[in-house]
A = this chain, B = another copy of it.
Amino acid sequence: MTDLARLSLNQETIRQWSLPELVEGCVAADVPGVGLWRAPVQKYGVEAAARLVRDAGLKVTSLCRGGFLTDIEPAARAKALDSNREAVDEAAALGTDTLVLVCGGLPAGSRDLHGARERIADALAELVPYAATAEVRLAIEPLHPMYAADRCVVSTLSQALDLAERFPSEHVGVVIDTYHLWWDDTLAEGLTRAGAQNRIAAFQLADWVTPLPAGVLLGRGQIGDGSVDFRWFRDRVAEAGWTGPVEVEIFNERQWERDGGAVLAETVERYRAHFQ
């Protein structure tokens, strides 16, 4: 076992790579895990992607993403549930037990955060039996509050746990992503609570760098470039009992313009310097 035994590279970190390039790059760099996204996997073919990763000896640590469960209109809601069931099937086919959920923002014209959060709970109640049968755990990802309107009304770990708690921990967990949660002074107690309930389903790393770009989606920073105290996260998440993968997930347009191998080498170096 190398010192990279827990490291996983989320596919979007090096979006410029095809799936075969990703697999080849991770194998060459001794990175044993990959986090995959539905769109590129579907494009390559789910079964083919599963075989490619498996044959290379890599582990799929999570599939991103299900969710978007806040629609009010029945047809949109049914479509979202169907899509989530497909995502569960894809996760199972890829050999991962973790489907990350970005739960959805406010529907157009709505200002009802509480109602949107309750619709997520209702949708989870519909999805949990299906996911349980497939042995896939639904992982609620709290997103930074700056995404509350348009991506995810679940903005804090505490909110994510409030939702997850309504279901058995083996079926519904939470994602700890440093980018989304670093600012929160109640995070330590949230991690303790998550640990006590065995709710941590995934642990993702990205740094917080400013200024944020327009749209605030593609400005996640390389580990060590910003304000996140990664060792603090490492220690608190370890105390909460998480011994699973540590997935680096950085969406950054400047990183996507670079050579993929250079980005991966830098990521491994930063992981060693700032996390280990």
- Tell me the A residues contacting B by CB distance below 8 Å: 106, 111-114, 117, 144-146, 148-150, 153, 155-156, 158-159, 182-186, 208, 210-216, 226-229, 232
Chain B residues near A159: list those with CB within 8 A: 185
Interface hub of A149, A182, A214 (most chain B Cβ within 10 A) = A149
A128 to B62, CA, bound (A): 51
A75 to B110, CA, bound (A): 49
Chain B residues near A229: list those with CB within 8 A: 111-112
> Dominant SS at the A interface?
loop
Chain B residues near A112: list those with CB within 8 A: 229
A187 to B230, CA, bound (A): 29
Shortest A155–chain B CB gap in Å is: 5
Shortest A150–chain B CB gap in Å is: 5
A53 to B228, CA, bound (A): 45
In the complex, residue of chain B having the shortest beta-carbon distance to the beta carbon of A209: B149
A232 to B111, CA, bound (A): 10
In the complex, residue of chain B having the shortest beta-carbon distance to the beta carbon of A212: B216
Chain B residues near A113: list those with CB within 8 A: 182-183, 185
A228 to B106, CA, bound (A): 11
A228 to B232, CA, bound (A): 34
